[in-house]
Structure 1
Amino acid sequence: MSTFNGIIHEFPDIRIDFFRGFQSQPPLACFLSHIHSDHLAGLDRLRSPFVYCSAATREILLRLEKYPCRLNYAKGIFEDPRMQTYKHLAKVLKPIPLDTPTEVELEPGKSIQVTLLDANHCAGAVMFLIEGNGRAVLYTGDIRSEPWWVNSIARNPSIIEYSSGLKTLDRIYLDTSMLDDFPLQTKAEGLHELLEKIARYPKDTCFFMQAWTYGYEEVWVALSKALNSKIHVDKYKMGVYKSLATKPKDSRFAAQTHLIKEAPYLVGFTCGNNQREGCLTLYENVRIHSCEKGTSCAVGTKPIVWIKPIVAHLKDGRDMVEVGIGGGGDDLAQKPSLEAEDIVSLIDLIERNDQLLGELGTEVKRILQKARVTSRDIEIDMDVSEFTEKESITEIFKSVVKKVNAIHNPVKKLEKNNQSSTLSNRIIFPYARHSSLPELRHLVKTFKPKDIWPCTVDPADWIQKGITMRGLFGDLCTENIFEHDRMIDQIQELQREPQGEVEERESQPETQPAAALFSSSPIIPPAEVPQPREPTMGKAIQPSVSPPPHSKRDYDSFQNGQEPSIKSTSSSEGEFLSEDSQASALSDHAYDTRLRAFRAAQANMEGDGPWNTINLISTTDNHSTLDPEL
C-alpha cells in the first residue's frame, strides 16, 4: 500500500496521488498516476485544482464505484454501504497524452513540463517525468519494471536524455511495495504457464478468472484467444471497459479512439463499415467468466476451474501470494471499505478492550494506525451483495485479522498439479504487478539518478531490518545524498530523546521528521512553506514587509478562544498601547461571532465537509444584526 503523501520536494507547488491535507499548503496542480484505491486518498472530496492524468485513467475514474461503510456503534452493526463515484470531477480531470512533453502552467509566469510514460501496471497507469527550473524528477507510481519494459522506456525519445547520461535526474520517487531480493517470472512467462495448464482440460471446461482489480487485461486477451471463447463480465465491468473505446457521436462511420492497447480486443472496434465485437460479453453461456459474485450467473451451478494469479514461484518450490491491505486489491470487486473515522473508532475499541483480538490485537492496531496516519481506507473482505445490517463489528476484525495472517505468511506451499494425472479445480500462475529488488535495481541503474525516495515505507519494520536506500541503491546513484535515510535517522534520534523534548518537537508537525513516521515524502524545509493561497485564484498572499506599530492578539490564543493579554508596550511616540489591535475590549457577542467566522473559513479551506456559511458583523459591535452574506 502506498504511503506517499503527495509532496515532491523539487516542485512543492504540486501534489501527486494524495489529495488530503491541502489546508497547510494548497497545491497549484495535482497529478494522478492510476486508479488503484491507495492512490485516490481524498480525491472524492476534491474540488480544485486541476488533476492531470492519462485519458484512460480519467474515463475509468468517472465510472469508478466506491463502497464506504459506516459503523453504527450505538447498535454495534454496520450501516448499509453508500455507493459513491467521482463524477463530480468531470471538469477537474485533465487528460495528457502519453510520451508527449506537455507544459502545465501553475500560475502566470510559472510552468513545469510533464511527460506521462506507461507504467506497465494496469489500465491507464503512468509514470510522471517532471522538469522545470533546472530540476527533473521521475515519479514512478506503481510499476512492474520488467527488463523489456525498462529497455523500451530507456529508448523513449521523451526521456532518453536521462537514460543516456546527457542529463541526470535529481530524484526517482520509486515504487518500493516489494523489496524482496529474488527474481520474478515475467508476465510473458506467467501467461505461458497459464495457457499450458488450461490446454490440459477438456473442451467443455468452464474457467473463472479471479480478476478482482485492474491490471489483468492482458490475461483476459490471452485466455479468450487460446480458448476461442468470450468472457462473461458483469454490467459494472463492462461499462468501465466500454469507456476505453470512444468515437464521435455525430458519425457512425468515424474511427474509434482506443485509450489502452487491449481495448479493441476487449470491447470491440470498427473495421470498414462493420462493428466488430470484443471478447467481453454480458452473455452467460461462455467458457470463461470474470463476473462479480452475487450476479446470479448460471456458471455457479456448473463445475468450475478457478484461475488465480500469484506474485511468483520461488526456487524452493513455494509460492508468494498476493497480500496486503489496500493497493487496489478490490477495485473491480464491489466490496465495502472503512474510512478515517471508522478506523479511529476501531482503534478506540481495541484500546478499551485489550483482549478483543488476543495475540493479534497489537498487529491489527498497528495496521489500523498506519492506515489512519497515511489517510488510506481499508477494504473489508465481504462482497457488497452479502453486506447487510446484520453483520457484526466482529466481522470487520475477522477481515483485518485474515489480512494480517496473510501478511505474516506471504510465502506458501501451494498444491501443484503439474505431475498429477488428476486435474485440479484450481490453477495458479505468476503475474506480479509490482517489481522486486532486482528489477528495481535494473531501472535505477538505467537512469543513475542523484537520489532515490521510496513511495511505500514502513519505518518501524525498515529500522528493525536495517533497510536503507543507500544499502539498496547506493552503488547505482551518482551522488551520496539519500535524504530519506537521513530522515529515518532523525526519527530514531527522536525516539531516543526525553519525552519532554519529543512533545516539543511534535508541536511543529510541518517541519519535524516525527510527523513523517508513515509518510513517504520529503519534509519541506520551513523556508519553502508558502503563504496560504486564495482558493479561487491560487495566488500567494504576500506578508507585510514591516510590522504594524502594535501587534494583534496572537494566532493561537485567538483560535483557542483565549482572552487577549493586555501587556503594554511603548510606541515610537512614547504612548502606551495594548497588544490587542482594538483600543477597547470586544463584547462577548462580537468576539464569539468573529471566532465562529474564523473557524468556518478554516473548515471551508480544509475542504473536509460541507461549505459553511460565513456571516459578517462589525468588529466594534456597532450593529446588532448580522450583515448580508458575501
Structure 2
Amino acid sequence: MSTFDGVIHEFPDIRIDFFRGLHHRPPLACFLSHVHSDHLAGLDRLRSPFVYCSAATREILLRLEKYPCRLNYAKGIFEDPRMQTYKHLARVLKPIPLDTPTEVELEAGKSIQVTLLDANHCAGAVMFLIEGNGKAVLYTGDIRSEPWWVNSIARNPSIIEYSSRLKTLDRIYLDTSMLDDFPLQTKAEGLRELLEKIARYPKDTFFCMQAWTYGYEEVWVALSKALNSKIHVDKYKMGVYRSLATKSKDNRFAAQTHLIKEAPSLVGFTCGNNQREGCLTLDENVRIHSCEKGTSCAVMKNKPIVWIKPIVAHLKDGRDMVEVGIGGGGDDLAQKPTLETQDILALIEIIGRNDQLLDEIGTEVKRVLTKAFTTSRDLEIDMDMSDFVEKESTTEILKSLVKKVNAIRNPVKKVDENDQPSTLSNRIVFSYARHSSLPELRHFVETFRPKDIWPCTVDPAHWMERGITMQGLFGDLCTSDVFEHDRLMEDQLQEMQRQLQDEDGEGKSQPETRPMAAPLSSSPIIPPADDSEPHEFEEKGNGHAREIIQPSVSPPQSSKRDYNSFQSDQQINLKSSLSSEGESILEDSQASALSNHAYETRLRAFRAAQANMEGDGPWNIIHLISTTDNHSTIDPEL
C-alpha cells in the first residue's frame, strides 16, 4: 500500500495520489497516476482543483463503485452500505495524452510541463515527468520495470534527455512496494507458464481467472486466444472496460478511439462498417469466466471449475510468493465493502473494549487497522456485498480481517504437491508480478542516474530495524550522495531516542541501529505486504532455521509502571487522536501513552503469570517477549 503523502518537494504547489489534508495548503493542481484504491485517498470528497490523469484513468474512475461501511458507534453494528461513485469529478478530471509534453498552468505566470509515461502496471497507469523552474522529477506511481519496459522508456523521445544523461533528474519518487532481492519472472514468462498449464486440460474444462483488480488485461487476451473462447464477466466489469473504447456520437461511421492497447481485443472495434466483438462477453455459455461471486452465473454454480490465480513469483527453493494486496489494488474490480477512516477508528474502539474478541491474533488485526488509519487509507473487506448487507454485528468483518492477517503472515507458500506437471489440479497458479523487486528497480534507477531517490511506500519501523536506506539500496546508481529521505528517517530515529532518554531518568543505553547491508544479498528479505503488514515464512527441507519478521512498532516507553496505570491509560478515547480539522493522527506516542500493541503484549503476559501464581486454573502459556524493543513484542519461539 502506498504511503506517499502526495507532496512533491520540488513543486510544492501540486499534489499526486493523495487528496486528504489539502485544506492546510490548497494545491494549485492535482495528479492521479492510476485507479488502485491506495492512490485515491480523499479523492471522493475533492471538489477542486483540476486532477490531471490519463484518459483511461478518467473513464475508469467515473465508473468505479465504492461501498463505504457505516458503523454504528454505539452498538458496533453495520448499517446497509450505500453505493458511492466518483461521477461528480467529471468536470474536474482532465486527461492528458501519453508521451506528450504538456504545459499545465498553475496560476497566472506560473506553469509546469508534465509528460505522462506508461507505467506497465494496470490499465491507464502512468508515471509523471514534471519539469519547471530548472527542476525535473519523475514520479513513478506503481511500476513493473521489466527489462523490455525500461528499454522502451529509455528511448522515449519525451524523456531521452534524462536517460541519455544530457540532463539529470533531481529526484525519482520511486515505487518501493517490494524491496525483495530476488529475480522476478517477466510477464511474458508468466503467460507462457499459464498457457502451458491450461493446454494439458481436456477441451471441455471450465476455467475461472480470478482477476480481482486492474492489471490483468493481457492475461484475458492471451487466455481467450489460446482457448478460442470468450470470457464471461459481470455487468460491472463490462461497463468499465467498454468505456475504454469511445466513439463520436455525431458520426456513426467514425472509427473508435481505444484508450488502452488491449481495448479492441477486450470490447471490440469498428472495421469499416462492421463492429467486431471483443473477448469479453455477458454470455455465460463460455469456457472462461471472470465474473464476480454472487452474480448468479449458472456455470460457476453448477460446473466443476479450474481456478486460475496469479502470484508474485516462484522462488528458487520451490516455494511461491503469493499476492496479498501488495502495493494496493485490493478488490477494485470487485464490488467490496470499504471501511473509511472514521469507521476504522470505530472498529479499533470496539476491539479495544473486548480484549478476547480476536484472541491471539487481535494485536495484529489492530495493527492492520491502525496502519490504515494513520496513513489515511481506506480498508477494503474481503466480503461479498450480498453477504455483507445481511449482517448485524462486527463478527463477519473481523473474520475477514483475521483471514487477511493470516494471508499476510504467510505470503510464501510451499508449492502444492497436486500442482505438478504430472497431475491435473483444480487450481493453476502462474507468476505475474505487477510491482518490481530490487534488481528491477536498480536497473530502472541506473537508466536515469538521478541525484536522489524518494520512496513512495515506507514502513519506518521495519526499515529502521533492518537498516534499509535509499543510499544503501541505490547510492551507487545516483549522482549525489545526499538522500533527503534518509536524513528524514535519521532525524526521526534520533528524536525517538531523545524522547526515550528524556523518559528514562537513569539514562539507559538505547538499541544500536544496524547499518544497511549490501544492496544485493544472496537471500531475499521478504518485506511487509501491502506495505504495512508482516510477512512470515519458513525454510523447509534445507536445514535452515525459521525466520519470522514480527510486526514493527515504534519503540515504546521504557519507563516502568504498574499494570493498573497501564490499564487506566487505555480508557482514553481514541477520538482524542483526531485533530481539530478532523484529520487522523493516531500513533504510538513516545511522550504520553503506551502504544496499544505494546500494552496488549505486556498485559497478556502479566495476566498469564498472575493466573499461574494464583493457581486456580490451568497453567497458562507465557510467550517469550522481546527484550530488544522494551518488552513490547512477542519473540518467535525457538
Fold shared by both chains (TM-score > 0.5): yes
Q: Is the 8 A contact 2:140 2:172 kept in 1?
A: yes
The residue aligned with 1:564 is: none
**Do the aligned partners of 1:77 and 1:389 also contact (CA within 8 Å) in 2?**
no
Q: State the partner residue of 2:231.
A: 231
| 2:15 is the counterpart of 1:12 | no
**2:375 corresponds to 1:374:** yes
Are 1:45 and 2:45 an aligned pair?
yes
- Hey, what's the Cα distance between the residues in 2 that align with 1:378 and 1:251? 44
Overall identity of the aligned pairs, in %: 84
Provide the secondary structure at the position in 2 that maps to 1:138. Answer: strand
1:166 aligns with 2:166: yes
In structure 1, what is the equivalent of residue 192 of structure 2? 192
Tell me, yes or no, if structure 1 residue 342 matches structure 2 residue 314: no
Partner of 1:130: 130
Q: Quick check: 1:326–1:378 contact (8 Å CA) kept in 2?
A: no
> What residue in structure 2 maps to residue 314 of structure 1?
315
- How much does 1:388 deviate? 2.2
2:516 matched residue in structure 1: none
Q: Distance in 2 between matches of 1:325 and 1:341?
A: 24
The CA distance in 2 between the partners of 1:301 and 1:75, in whole Å, is: 40
Which amino acid is the alignment partner of residue 373 of structure 2? R
Measured against aligned partners, the alpha-carbon deviations of 1:478-499 in whole angstroms (never above 9, x if no partner) come to 0011111111111111111237
Residue number in structure 2 paired with 1:360: 361
Distance (whole Å) between structure 1 residues aligned to residue 183 and residue 403 of structure 2: 27
Question: Distance in 2 between the 1:359 and 1:410 partners?
Answer: 19
* Per-residue deviation, 1:350: 3.1
Cα distance in 2 for partners of 1:356, 1:174 equals: 39
Q: Which residue of 2 aligns with 1:63?
A: 63
Measured in 2, the distance between the counterparts of 1:501 and 1:61 equals: 49
Aligned partner of 1:93 in structure 2 is 93
Instruction: Measure, in 2, the Cα distance between the counterparts of 1:283 and 1:358.
Output: 46
Check 1:167–1:177 CA distance in 2 against 1; reply closer, same or farther (3 A cut): same
8 A contact 2:144–2:435 mirrored in 1: yes
- Deviation of 1:175 after TM superposition, in Å, equals 0.4
Whether the 8 Å CA contact 1:4–1:456 is kept in 2: the answer is yes
Deviation, 1:500, is 11
Q: Distance in 2 between matches of 1:444 and 1:430?
A: 24
Q: What pairs up with 1:289-438 in 2 under 5 angstroms?
A: 289-299=289-299, 300-324=301-325, 327-417=328-418, 419=420, 421-438=422-439
Q: 1: CA distance between counterparts of 2:47 and 2:453?
A: 32
Aligned to 1:485: 486
* 3-state secondary structure, aligned to 2:85: coil
* SS of residue in 2 equivalent to 1:367: helix
2: distance between equivalents of 1:253 and 1:416?
55
Q: Note the 1:103-252 alignment, pairs <5 A.
A: 103-252=103-252
Name the residue aligned to 1:81.
81
Return the offset for 1:23.
1.4
Kept after mapping to 1: 8 A contact 2:419/2:427 = no
- Separation in structure 1 between the aligned mates of residue 294 and residue 395 of structure 2, nearest angstrom: 23
Aligned to 2:626: none
Q: Is the Cα contact below 8 Å between 2:68 and 2:339 reproduced in 1?
A: yes
Per-residue CA distance 1:337-381 (angstroms, 9 max, x = gap): 110001111222333333332332222222212111111011111
Indicate if the aligned counterparts of 1:325 and 1:378 stay in contact, CA closer than 8 A.
no
Structure 1 pair 420–261 and aligned structure 2 pair: CA distance change class (3 A) = closer
Quote the residue 2:102 is aligned against: 102
In structure 2, list runs of 5 or more residues that go unmatched. 504-530, 532-579, 584-638
Does the CA contact (< 8 Å) of 1:173 and 1:452 recur in 2?
yes
Contact 1:62 1:85 in 2 (8 A): yes
Larger Rg: 1
TM-score, with length taken from structure 2? 0.77
Q: Secondary structure at the match of 1:67?
A: strand
Structure 2 CA distance for aligned equivalents of residues 416 and 140 of structure 1: 39
Question: After superposition, what is the alpha-carbon deviation per residue over 1:303-343, rounded to whole angstroms, capped at 9, x for unaligned?
Answer: 11100000000000000001147711100011101100011
Note closer, same or farther for the CA distance 1:326–1:176 as it changes in structure 2 (3 Å cut).
closer
Name the CA distance, whole Å, in 1 between partners of 2:70 and 2:51.
28
* Amino acid paired to 2:468: I
Deviation of 1:258 after TM superposition, in Å, equals 0.2
SS at match of 2:332: coil
Q: Matches of 2:106 and 2:96 in 1, distance apart?
A: 15
8 Å CA contact 2:177–2:326 kept in 1: the answer is: no
1:418 offset after TM fit, Å? 5.9
Q: Distance in 2 between matches of 1:452 and 1:296?
A: 49
State whether residues 308 and 426 of structure 1, in contact with CA within 8 Å, keep that contact through their aligned partners in structure 2.
yes
Using the size of structure 1 for normalisation, the TM-score is 0.78
**Structure-1 separation of matches of 2:242 and 2:206:** 24
The separation in 2 between residues aligned to 1:384 and 1:283, in whole angstroms, is: 23
Query: Which residue of the partner structure matches residue 288 of structure 2?
Result: 288
- Partners of 2:357 and 2:242 lie apart in 1 by 46
Checking the alignment, whether the CA contact within 8 Å between 1:79 and 1:389 is kept in structure 2 is no
Q: Compute the RMSD of aligned alpha carbons.
A: 1.7
| SS of 2:67 mapped into structure 1 | coil
Counterparts of 1:475-624 in structure 2, within 5 Å, are: 475-498=476-499
Q: Distance in 1 between matches of 2:41 and 2:327?
A: 11
Corresponding residue for residue 269 of structure 2: 269
By how many angstroms is 1:419 displaced?
Answer: 4.4
User: C-alpha separation between the residues in 2 aligned to 1:103 and 1:278?
Assistant: 36
Matched positions, count: 507
Aligned to 1:525: none
Deviation of 1:254 after TM superposition, in Å, equals 0.3
The letter for the 1-side match of 2:335 is Q
Q: State how far apart, in whole Å, the 2-side matches of 1:476 and 1:162 are.
A: 14
Q: What do residues 98-131 of structure 1 show as CA deviations (whole Å, max 9, x unaligned)?
A: 0000000000000000000000000000000000
**Please, which runs of 5 or more residues in structure 1 have no aligned partner?**
503-519, 521-601, 607-630
SS at match of 1:75: coil
State the shift of 1:2 in Å. 0.3
Q: Which amino acid aligns with 2:374?
A: V
Q: Tell me how far apart the structure 2 counterparts of residues 389 and 38 of structure 1 sit (CA, whole Å).
A: 27
Q: Deviations over 1:165-208 (max 9, x none)?
A: 00000000000001000000000000000000000111111100
2:551 aligned partner: none
1:501 deviates by 7.6
Residues 74, 348 of structure 1: alpha-carbon distance in 2 compared, 3 angstrom cutoff: closer
Q: Which amino acid aligns with 2:68?
A: P
Task: Provide the C-alpha distance between the structure 1 equivalents of 2:125 and 2:289, rounded to a whole number of angstroms.
Answer: 25
Q: Which moved more, 1:360-369 or 1:274-283?
A: 360-369
- Aligned to 1:112, the other structure's residue is in SS state strand
Relative to structure 1, the CA distance from residue 224 to residue 416 in structure 2 (aligned partners, 3 Å threshold; closer, same or farther) is: farther
* Matched AA of 1:203: K
- The amino acid that maps onto 2:245 is A
Query: Structure 1 residues 227 and 391, CA, compared in 2 at 3 Å: closer, same or farther?
Result: farther
Task: Confirm or deny: 8 A CA contact 2:327 2:435 kept in the other structure.
Answer: no
- CA apart distance, 1:385: 2.0
The alpha-carbon distance between structure 1 residues 500 and 182, as it changes in their structure 2 partners (threshold 3 A), is closer
Instruction: State the distance in 2 between where 1:193 and 1:274 align.
Output: 35
C-alpha distance in 1 between matches for 2:132 and 2:379: 36
Q: Distance in 2 between matches of 1:137 and 1:235?
A: 40
> One-letter code of the match for 1:291?
C
Alpha-carbon displacement from aligned partner over 1:406-445 (angstroms, at most 9, x marks no partner): 2221110131556454311110000000000000000000
